[in-house]
Amino acid sequence: MAGRAAVPEVIWARPERTGRGPKPAFTRAGIAAAAVRIADAEGLDGVSMRHVAAELGCGTMSLYNYVPRKEDLYELMVDAVGAEHEMFEPTGDWRADMLRNAEETRAIMYRHTWVPRLMPGVHGFSPNTLRYLEHCLACLEPLGIPAGTKTELIALLNGVVTTYTANDIATVERTRSMPWSEEEENAVRMAYLGSQVATGAYPRLAAAFMEQSGPVDLEAVFRRALERVLDAYDPELR
Amino acid sequence: MAGRAAVPEVIWARPERTGRGPKPAFTRAGIAAAAVRIADAEGLDGVSMRHVAAELGCGTMSLYNYVPRKEDLYELMVDAVGAEHEMFEPTGDWRADMLRNAEETRAIMYRHTWVPRLMPGVHGFSPNTLRYLEHCLACLEPLGIPAGTKTELIALLNGVVTTYTANDIATVERTRSMPWSEEEENAVRMAYLGSQVATGAYPRLAAAFMEQSGPVDLEAVFRRALERVLDAYDPELR
DNA sequence: TCCTAGTTACGTACAGCGTACGTAGTGCGC
DNA sequence: GCGCACTACGTACGCTGTACGTAACTAGGA
């Protein structure tokens, strides 16, 4: 008798190993790594319990000994890529340090384009998340504001990084395993947008559309947004 | 022979009705409304093609005449709730107007808690999205910055609203149709967080944790974040 | 006016999903 | 060394998105 949970559960609160019984053949880290490998290679939709189990070389239902629900597998995956954050020694320049953190988060998401889609469902208290939070707080040590405001800054910055990067990634992820290329998709979308704007129903939008010359530099837009957010918390600028 | 698309498609670019054939029994708006009704009542997972078709009173496969892929149904849903935005007459106070827009977006998401989960996958060019964008640009008319910077402000603000609200909603959505309450879930999570902090592995986090007294006022945190972002674009403050 | 091609409607079918449940074997703690 | 918690995993169920085939319908071109 296994006995399913009738009470809320955070997977991180359940110990990976309790004394009794045969030694487990796999670890959470190994399972997470397998799932991440599949998601990177085939997209998030390729991550099924069956598929992950096959990758590990075990029966499908054996996975459920380690991961009570699929949602928890997602939790493991997000935590696993969180380990890719470099927890560097703070330099004393909180702005530069936080910028670096943000750029790193963005880079991680570009490496694992499925992360943004998972973010809304995730608890946010996994070991690596906590370590990252602690690291950010260390970077913000020189900044003379209350701890509560610091965590608000971190949350805001992470939110901005996530939405911006999610948006930039969306097209790439959408065209994965489609019979057309990213450029084709973009062309079709831009043509549609142009046709809408041309109806005259959106005059101000049309003006903004005309004002821009050449393609948008997503990276520059992203960095400008970061700078603005940091400005908003910089005591020297207010 | 229907002939599936071998070329990228934006559902908004395909006309709702072409001359030939029997008159369609349903409209995009009606289908979207049905899907939204289901999502509101049973959560996003309740939205299946079969279920929506049943709600409309038609065969499952008939839906595919209107909605080529399920992803497009999501697109319709997000556009449908976008119609709930009140496109008020700009007052001339761009800060107040944008705050109002943001609060309204948040309210919409609270009414339809499944929206944040859909946001990453959505194209962002639906009719109501364009109308909302145009409305925001109208509100920002008094602000003396380039149009490009205005759209960046709008994007940043929307991003902040989305992530913050998604986070606040996450627990509610997670406990939907679970055998435990939101309070129980929160208690378990807080207990776990406390236990982790108590290990001493996260000293700064612990300090921040101790500093706060009483429960967090999510609404206040949200509003403070908005103010900061607006500050960052306010020419009078720089 | 009639013909026909494009639509609508929808039943059937298939591959794949998450996971409940039962059973067999293993090894630690008492 | 007994018992029990644990691991492993095959089977099965209800559900999903959707490809495909067929029948009814109607607007446009000849």
The CA distance from B57 to the nearest CA of chain A, in Å, is: 30
Residues comprising chain A, all counted: 238
Nearest to A160 among B7, B116, B156 (CB): B156
> Cα dist. A94→A100, A141, A183 in Å?
10, 8, 38
CATH of B84-237, one of 1.20.910.10, 3.90.1640.30, 1.10.357.10, 1.10.3720.10: 1.10.357.10
Compute the distance between CA of residue B38 and CA of residue B63 in angstroms, rounded to an integer. 15
Q: Which residue of B has its CA nearest to A187?
A: B8
- The DSSP annotation for B163-203 comes to HHHHHHHHHHHHHTTSSS-HHHHHHHHHHHHHHHHHTTS-H
User: Does strand C come within 7 Å of the CB of B5?
Assistant: no
Per-residue pLDDT tens over the stretch A37-48? 999 999 999 999
Asked if A117 and B116 come within 8 Å (Cβ–Cβ), the reply is no
- State how far the Cα of B168 lies from the Cα of B162, in Å rounded to an integer: 10
* B4 CA: nearest nucleotide by C1': D19
Contact between A116 and A109 under an 8 Å Cβ cutoff? The reply is: yes
A21 Cβ nearer than 7 Å to chain C strand? yes
Say which of B10, B150, B204 has its CB closest to residue A138: B204
Closest CB from B120, B147, B212 relative to A166: B120
Write down the CATH superfamily of domain A86-237. Tetracycline Repressor, domain 2 (1.10.357.10)
Radius of gyration of chain B (CA): 22
Positions of chain B with pLDDT lower than 70, given as ranges: 1-8, 171-185, 238
pLDDT (tens digit, 9 = 90+) per residue, B126-176? 999 999 999 999 999 999 999 999 999 999 999 999 999 998 887 666 666
- pLDDT computed for residue A5 by the predictor: 47
The residues, any chain, with a CB within 8 Å of residue B160's CB and separated by 6 or more, are A156, A159, A160, A163, B102, B225, B226, B229
Chain B neighbors of A116, CB-CB under 8 A: 120
**How many angstroms is C1' of D15 away from CA of A106?**
36
pLDDT at A210: 85
Round to whole Å and give the CA distance between A223 and B238: 19
Q: What is the pLDDT along chain A (238 residues), one digit of tens a residue?
A: 333 445 557 888 888 877 777 888 899 999 999 999 999 999 999 999 999 999 999 999 999 999 999 999 999 999 999 999 999 999 999 999 999 999 999 999 999 999 999 998 888 889 999 999 999 999 999 999 999 999 999 999 999 999 999 988 876 666 665 656 666 667 777 778 888 888 889 999 999 888 877 778 889 999 999 999 999 999 887 6
**What architecture (CATH level 2) is domain A11-81?**
Orthogonal Bundle (1.10)
In chain A, where the domains are located:
11-81, 86-237
Q: Which residue does chain B place closest to A10, by CA atoms?
A: B189
Closest nucleotide to A18: CA versus each C1': D6
Burial B12-27 (b: 16+ CB within 10 A, else e): beeeeeeeeeeeeebe
Q: Which two tokens stand for residue B27?
A: 């409209």
A39 strand C contact, CB < 7 Å: no
Chain A residues closer than 8 Å to B202 by CB: 130-131, 133-134
